[in-house]
Amino acid sequence: MLLRFVVLIAAALPLAAADNNIQVVEEIAAKVNGDIVTRGELEETLKEFEKAARAEGLAGAKLQEALKTGQHDALRERIDELLLVQKAKDMPNINVDGDLARFLAQIQTQYRLTDADKLAAFVQDTYGITLEELKQRKKSEFLSQRIVSQEVASRVIIPEADLRKYYDEHKSEFVREEQVYLSQILVSTDGKTPQQVAEAEKRAKDLVSRARAGEKFAELAEANSDDTETSKNGGFLPGGYKKTDLRKEIADLVFSQKKGYISDPLKIPNPPGFLILKVEERYEAGQASFDEVKEQIQQFLAGPKVEPKLREYLTKLRLDAYLEIKDGYVDSGAAPGKDTSWHDVAEIKPQTTTKEETAARRKKKFLGVVPYGRVGPVKAAEGADAPPAPPPAQNPPSAAAPVQK
């Protein structure tokens, strides 16, 4: 959930009392390093939790029990998220811009939203928030997932014998349809003169030659593709395609080729231009092999073991954090012995308000723990058979992908 900008917060009441014209519009529940958690955020979290619980069919006493648990853990969950996001931002090797782009492309593709304005209107109508707010929420979610995957889950190893046993007992969950994974470069001819179209075709042929000669397709796409949505992802079209997902002429081509194939420039009418395709991966219909789904099974079986490790990791993050909880609020994930008592804003000295200076006072070097990223096996019909090379298969193609019908 996004932090909301506020005119004045309840924690500053002693300072605001002299001016009766200033209205308190929000209350701080907790301070987490440089971020805050507000009462409004917690209330919104509970509303979303209740909505999800009702959607799962909970009602009556079971619903009330679930809401009681949700209320008890709401502040913990928000603090957990902030600590994970802050940690991820401190690590230069973590970047989720590609994940965010694929998520937005999924919405655009599913609902056929052809431009940014339509996407923004759809988000406002569907989620009740702006597109920028949705982007920030999803980015925080992806950062949290990435840090947990890198710092927690990757260190939970399941013996290969157990992985193979699960595969043998659940083979029906790993049957899939024929699929292909693609990347593209688009050289646009929109609004160009005949001479400029000829130059665009020559440029496209040159890019094909360079790619076939060994230059990295992703780098060529990033530097040369006129499809801005996919170029920033190295041209990758996020999603596994069935034959029926693609234009017939394109399906006939790519489904007859092997992994690594790079097409000649294909002249397309919409958007007008020359399209170059690379087959990143291709799967025949039928039973996925153990090696193809081994990592997916590892993530699924590691899930129950990750939870306690993640709690340990979050406790260590709390110990290293500048953390204050206002009276009346409870962090159900509090670190034992950690002083989180509330101080009035006016009484806080500047040197006590940053994470770096708090860590320096403690003179304790933080040692990272481990990663997370629970993905359970799902039947192929539900799109869970992600390939080893490209990003997860459950993400649909870019809205700007010319290959679609």
Dihedral of the alpha carbons of 214, 215, 217, 221, in degrees to the nearest 10: -160
**Which string of DSSP letters, residue by residue, matches 229-252?**
HHHTTTTB--SPBPGGGB-HHHHH
Q: Is 151 helix (H, G, I), strand (E, B) or coil?
A: helix
pLDDT digits (tens, 9 = 90+) for 247-280: 888 889 999 999 999 999 999 888 889 999 999 9
CB-based contacts of 42-50 (< 8 A; 24+ apart in sequence): 42/74, 42/75, 42/78, 44/1, 45/1, 45/70, 45/74, 45/77, 45/78, 46/70, 46/71, 46/74, 49/74
Q: Is residue 218 part of a domain?
A: yes
Residue 263 or 355, more confident = 263
**Which string of DSSP letters, residue by residue, matches 179-197?**
EEEEEEEEEE-TT--HHHH
CATH of the domain at 267: 3.10.50.40
Kindly state the tokens that stand for 214. 């060994």
pLDDT digits (tens, 9 = 90+) for 119-135: 899 999 988 889 999 99
Mean pLDDT of 176-196: 91
Residue 258 or 22, more confident = 258
Q: Is residue 208 part of a domain?
A: yes
The C-alpha angle with vertex 94 and arms to 91 and 98, in degrees rounded to 5, equals 155
29's enclosing H/E stretch is strand 28-32
Give residue 21's pLDDT.
53
Mean pLDDT of 218-232: 88
pLDDT digits (tens, 9 = 90+) for 332-353: 999 999 999 998 655 444 444 4
Give residue 19's pLDDT.
46
pLDDT digits (tens, 9 = 90+) for 58-93: 999 999 999 999 999 999 999 999 999 999 999 988
Residue 173 or 263, more confident = 263
Listed in sequence order, the residues at least 6 apart from 357 whose beta carbon sits closer than 8 Å to its beta carbon are 351
Cα 251 from Cα 90, distance rounded (Å): 43
**Which string of DSSP letters, residue by residue, matches 276-343?**
EEEEEEEE-SEEPPHHHHHHHHHHHHHHHHHHHHHHHHHHHHHHHS-EEE-TT---TTPPTT------
Residue 114 or 388, more confident = 114
Cα 214 from Cα 277, distance rounded (Å): 15
Q: Is residue 348 part of a domain?
A: no
User: Beta strand pairing status for 175-176 and 323-325?
Assistant: unpaired
Domain containing 191: what range?
Answer: 178-284
Q: Is residue 273 part of a domain?
A: yes
**15: amino acid identity, one letter:** L
Give residue 132's pLDDT.
93
Residue 159 or 4, more confident = 159
Q: Is residue 30 part of a domain?
A: no
Residue 9 or 289, more confident = 289
Q: Please report, rounded to a whole number, the percentage of residues in the chain having pLDDT higher than 70.
A: 78
Q: Is residue 42 part of a domain?
A: no
Give residue 207's pLDDT.
96
Query: Is residue 114 scored above 80 in pLDDT?
Result: no
Q: pLDDT band for position 363 (50/70/90)?
A: very low
pLDDT mean across residues, the chain:
79
Q: Is residue 236 part of a domain?
A: yes
pLDDT digits (tens, 9 = 90+) for 134-171: 999 999 999 999 999 899 988 898 999 999 999 999 99
Of residues 59, 28, 14, the one with CA closest to residue 325: 28
Domains identified in the chain, total number: 1
pLDDT digits (tens, 9 = 90+) for 322-334: 999 999 999 999 9
Mean pLDDT of 211-239: 87
For residue 9, list its beta bridge partners.
Answer: 26
Q: Is residue 232 part of a domain?
A: yes
